[in-house]
Chain A
């Protein structure tokens, strides 16, 4: 039940960014770039391309979806303290966090 709901929310989120544009824009849509990728790309500047860090930031590629989700939510709530990730995580909705977790867990 909980899982199904979560999945539905993630799908709905991914759909919202891309489908909204695809269906409403007058031009025909081809395979669009998943919004998860667009969200995740901005993280690469610190965490490395695809989350494979080249420096001191942790590599997040290949961590489990659950691990990434838990960490980001803990940074967001302040339960877990970091130098900068609290400030960053607060900028993302739970749906976006789910999309990010999905993206990086599959790298």
Chain B
């Protein structure tokens, strides 16, 4: 069924890439001229996976990873730190395993990726040349979309949607809050990183309150009509945290128009809520390096060829993970990592003068509703007619009304997933 289009696409891609390579550098694919060089920008789930898997597919290819942080703190499982189930150390990973595979790790920020000159300019000065570049910049916030907040106010009203200091700040504020306090959380509009993340955060804060501050309350102001795994989360909240969580969606005046950081008050069209702790998660866009390097379109996300994740705007530069436009795949860590593997295979093949193979992806998003209460949503994706498509009949949500044993198992698998994926990437 897909064979014809697959071939057609391969043919087209093979031809454009070959032409692109010729017109840009005037030479044959890099392997013919010597050791090919790939620069990966960003050392998160997408970038670190890409760096590792290029080496796995072909150790002779030179791989440089540009990442400012020496230690990477994962957004997945950061809700367990906020809820007091894990320490920040548990979700912090280093790059030694990648270095052991021969990846050169440069701890600097990329200032710009120049597809025409085939080089990455570093913020600290100098540049690194590449035959192909993989950009995995994650997300940035659209502060302009909310009145009253900016990067500076995050010290008082944390977003905690990039893990690390922000995660610890939110945890500290929750610890300092008195029993009987109010936690107000406002999830972002679509599309955003980790669609079930706000639901999990609400859950694990509730889990913390239940034991440490049982008179406390959680108010959710959501600008959307529905949210990921809504039925399952609400079933879990009713079972584990009855009466603690008040959820208001768009129709229920959940859209926050303005925030006053000083008083920690959120203003909606018809009302206001003041919290003792406020977690406002802003609207999002592709990370800054994508914006300044001409990789993002007017949606502020990055259009890609879904087979290779090569940018449609900058030949020779690939964009993976949250920053890419890869719908119907969600912006998840699992997605970023599995896209990185497909992209790595494509890059290696393209450097060898061959076309990328057929992509196939799984995404699973596990969430903890409580320490022993896990839920999931899954989907298998393929490629058809130039698009990433859901494989019909696959995927879906955990069943509603499942037994406690089932939920317990999925909580164990949630932890199992984190162990396996973080070891797969960071060793």
Chain A interfacial positions (CB closer than 8 Å to B): 16-18, 20-22, 24-33, 35, 37-39, 41-49, 53-57, 83-84, 87-88, 90-92, 96
Contact = CB atoms under 8 A, between A and B. Distances in A.
27 contacts: A20-B10, A21-B7, A22-B355, A25-B15, A27-B14, A28-B353, A28-B354, A29-B352, A30-B352, A30-B354, A42-B362, A45-B362, A45-B417, A45-B421, A46-B364, A47-B420, A48-B424, A53-B420, A54-B420, A54-B422, A57-B417, A87-B378, A88-B364, A90-B391, A91-B379, A91-B394, A92-B391
A90 B53 CA distance: 26
Given A21-B10, A38-B342, A96-B360, 16 more contacts: A25-B10, A25-B15, A25-B354, A25-B355, A28-B353, A29-B354, A37-B345, A38-B359, A41-B53, A43-B362, A45-B421, A54-B420, A55-B419, A83-B376, A87-B395, A91-B380
B398 interface: yes
B341 A38 contact: yes
A107 to B, nearest CB: 13
Contacts of A22: 354-355
B260 to A, nearest CB: 41
Given A32-B354, A90-B394, A91-B380, A46 B10 contact: no
A59 to B, nearest CB: 10
B103 to A, nearest CB: 15
Nearest to B415: A55
A45 B420 contact: yes
Contacts of A87: 378, 394-396
A38 B345 contact: yes
A27 B395 contact: no
A42 B345 CA distance: 12
A45 B424 contact: yes
Interface of B: 3, 6-7, 10-11, 13-15, 17-18, 29, 31, 53, 57, 334, 337-338, 341-342, 345, 348-349, 352-362, 364, 376, 378-382, 391, 393-396, 398, 406, 409-410, 412-413, 415-424
A43 B3 CA distance: 24
B358 A35 contact: yes
A46 B413 contact: yes
Contact of B364 (A45, A54, A96): A45
Given A24-B7, A38-B345, A84-B413, A32 B357 contact: yes
Given A49-B424, A84-B364, A90-B380, A57 B410 contact: no
Contacts of B391: 90-92
B415 A16 contact: no
A91 B395 contact: yes
Given A25-B11, A32-B349, A46-B420, A41 B341 contact: yes
Residue among B6, B334, B362 with the highest chain A CB neighbour number at 10 A: B362
A29 B355 CA distance: 8
A46 to B, nearest CB: 5
Nearest to A17: B358
Contacts of A56: 412-413, 415-416, 419
Q: Which 7 residue pairs spanning A and B have beta carbons closest together?
A: A91-B380, A25-B14, A55-B416, A91-B394, A56-B416, A55-B419, A21-B355
B357 A88 contact: no
B423 A54 contact: yes
Nearest to B58: A33
Contact of A83 (B334, B348, B360, B406): B406
A46 B18 contact: no
